[in-house]
Structure 1
């Protein structure tokens, strides 16, 4: 079916959900060799069936598998491509007051699409759960090509491994773009009509302090923006007309912490004006996100999903404040092209954010109820 769902609705989700305890236990048991991978998949299957039923029960028309088959929102996808190996860096990602696990992805050969990519298998299962309900759209979220590029140049070990295979950034971006485009087309062939690319690169490049630490001050913001735009658009061309491509821009979402701060103004001329997507899912849940003024750079006719409801904290926002903020944003993007969502998912990694499952669904109910007040 063609995906008109996202343009008719004005409430949405980013996609990851808190993992149920039995799934966490099963994943730990499989890692320790106590159960088989097939046993883990059975637990995942049932957890995803239960999640989809809950998503429907809470009024969602766009559903995901909660990213229940992943450990990370991004690395699992990277590991699924040919030419990439799972490695461990000297340190994890640095968040405000916390450091993550230190997994990474490193080039081991030329990058290409793997027809047995785990994201494709994951989507096929989700699609089978939803294909007979014309009111439901099954969305697949994948990390952005730019995020893949950023991981492959994160740390000296990754850089040295990269140089053994690729002579130029251009060749690397071309291979990333082709691998991603092949994944997207394979998802489409499997029935997918809604692909969201999650992207922290733009959320990090706005933060001067972050990049001074990350790149030792040796970086050009404009050059980074050009590279990220090229990496993403290398995958997002000549795609089917009825495939909705969107992007979620994040400043870090790990265990209710964050990695970067800064408004969208420094990246608006590249991201909002030139990236080949139909919609932008944007964080606006606190002062770190800046104001709405950069939305004036969003290309005409494109949608903006306002992440005004935080997924990091359990306290519920005031609906009247949300309504007021949507009205403020409509000064820059027409109301019919705006929607409401949480600012990010609830569990970008399997650790999850610091709230309960009930509080998670309370947030979803707030988004749906508030959107219905604004647009109905």
Structure 2
């Protein structure tokens, strides 16, 4: 029996308390040892676990308090992966306007390997401090490719992309295998690129920016992720969060899930999908008609981009609308994204975050019992 996803769930990242941010800054300045930071970090995790349990969540994360960024703290722990600034500009949007930047990403300078476990010890600690189901979140392996393409992958180490994808899946499988051995039965893969491939403007840029076919990439990434999670046992839930970008209330991608829905739901060995549905940028619920039996879509109807509270009745109405395309027994509820993709840039405080999580739990109980 798979433990998850739950009717009331959440994406995973949570707002860091100021004392944890201060401790990380002191560590970076050489004023705090790694051991001292770890002690402070673990105290903060105990607090955020208590917050999640207190609002009634069954899915418990460490808030991603073990990292400064949702993705680079993980990706840079593989051998021959280094920080890299893309030459292609990304446009972040919010209601006030747009901000352009060259995103910080990674490049591969040699053969990939995993010198040692990455988040395994973090998971082991989380498991000791919750009585509910501990969930670990990791960035999708597709991020190693999509943000830089062939130009960001050393051609001497990887003359063909097939060799690169095989090694990438293998190093991910090593980490996931150790997490399984540590008792992990709920894993979430944070995947931005399926969302980017829903955006007509971003799709049109793919052939020139990274030299790929936007129609083919979902199939390639589905095979990659399937290979990375191939060893998952029958009692393990692996979910995927499809994210349009989230920094300081800004987003990158827009557009409904229609271009990727069939591949995403039917070519991937994924149990649940956290889909953002907090605004009309996500399109309608029609793509849910491709959801096969045995899989769950967690509707991200509660926004983390602003502190304004949603109406319970409006959330219930939208769940009813989604149920026109997928059986309501295959649906669940969550915030549309994590509350803090990294340190800083939060659009609300911890009390508003808590209120939103309580709202998710309350509405899920009303709908599903």
Fold shared, TM-score > 0.5 on shorter chain: yes
Taking the aligned partners of 1:264 and 1:137, their CA distance within structure 2 comes to 29
Corresponding residue for residue 137 of structure 1: 133
Corresponding residue for residue 340 of structure 2: 347
**CA separation of 1:352 and 1:124: change in aligned 2, threshold 3 A:** farther
Counterpart of 1:234 in 2: which secondary structure? helix
Taking the aligned partners of 2:238 and 2:197, their CA distance within structure 1 comes to 22
Residues 14-38 of structure 1, C-alpha deviation per residue, up to 9 Å, x if partnerless?
0000111011111111112222222
Paired residues for 1:103-114 under 5 Å: 103-114=104-115
Contact 2:58–2:133 (CA under 8 A) maintained in structure 1: yes
Corresponding residue for residue 121 of structure 2: 121
Counterpart of 2:306 in 1: which secondary structure? coil
1:329 counterpart = 2:325: no
Corresponding residue for residue 276 of structure 1: 269
1:307 counterpart = 2:267: no
After TM superposition, give the deviation of residue 109 of structure 1 in Å: 2.1
Contact 2:198–2:256 (CA under 8 A) maintained in structure 1: yes
Taking the aligned partners of 1:139 and 1:361, their CA distance within structure 2 comes to 18
**CA separation of 1:68 and 1:215: change in aligned 2, threshold 3 A:** farther
Give structure 1 stretches of 5+ with no counterpart: none
Q: Which contiguous aligned blocks of 4+ residues in structure 1 show a shift greater than 6 angstroms?
A: none
Counterpart of 1:222 in 2: which secondary structure? coil
Paired residues for 1:1-376 under 5 Å: 3-4=2-3, 6=4, 9-89=6-86, 94-96=91-93, 97-98=98-99, 103-117=104-118, 119-130=119-130, 133=131, 136-151=132-147, 153=149, 156=151, 158-159=152-153, 162-213=154-205, 216=208, 219-376=212-369
Contact 2:137–2:190 (CA under 8 A) maintained in structure 1: yes
Count of matched residue positions in the alignment of Structure 1 and Structure 2:
364
Once the two structures are overlaid, the 10-residue window that deviates more, 91-100 or 335-344, is 91-100
Scaled by the length of structure 1, the TM-score of the pair is: 0.91
Residues 89-120 of structure 1, C-alpha deviation per residue, up to 9 Å, x if partnerless?
56885422335685432213211233332x11
Residues 307-351 of structure 1, C-alpha deviation per residue, up to 9 Å, x if partnerless?
000011100111111101111111221111110000000001212
Taking the aligned partners of 1:356 and 1:214, their CA distance within structure 2 comes to 37
Contact 1:14–1:345 (CA under 8 A) maintained in structure 2: yes
Once the two structures are overlaid, the 10-residue window that deviates more, 261-270 or 344-353, is 344-353
**CA separation of 1:78 and 1:166: change in aligned 2, threshold 3 A:** same
Counterpart of 1:258 in 2: which secondary structure? coil
Taking the aligned partners of 2:103 and 2:37, their CA distance within structure 1 comes to 23
Taking the aligned partners of 2:124 and 2:363, their CA distance within structure 1 comes to 32
**CA separation of 1:357 and 1:331: change in aligned 2, threshold 3 A:** same
**CA separation of 1:37 and 1:253: change in aligned 2, threshold 3 A:** same
Scaled by the length of structure 2, the TM-score of the pair is: 0.93
Once the two structures are overlaid, the 10-residue window that deviates more, 279-288 or 26-35, is 26-35
Once the two structures are overlaid, the 10-residue window that deviates more, 232-241 or 174-183, is 232-241
Residues 141-195 of structure 1, C-alpha deviation per residue, up to 9 Å, x if partnerless?
11112223224528x4x24xx2231011111111111111111110011111100
Contact 2:207–2:213 (CA under 8 A) maintained in structure 1: no
The structure that is helix-richer by fraction is: 1
Give structure 2 stretches of 5+ with no counterpart: none
**CA separation of 1:227 and 1:235: change in aligned 2, threshold 3 A:** same
Contact 1:207–1:261 (CA under 8 A) maintained in structure 2: yes
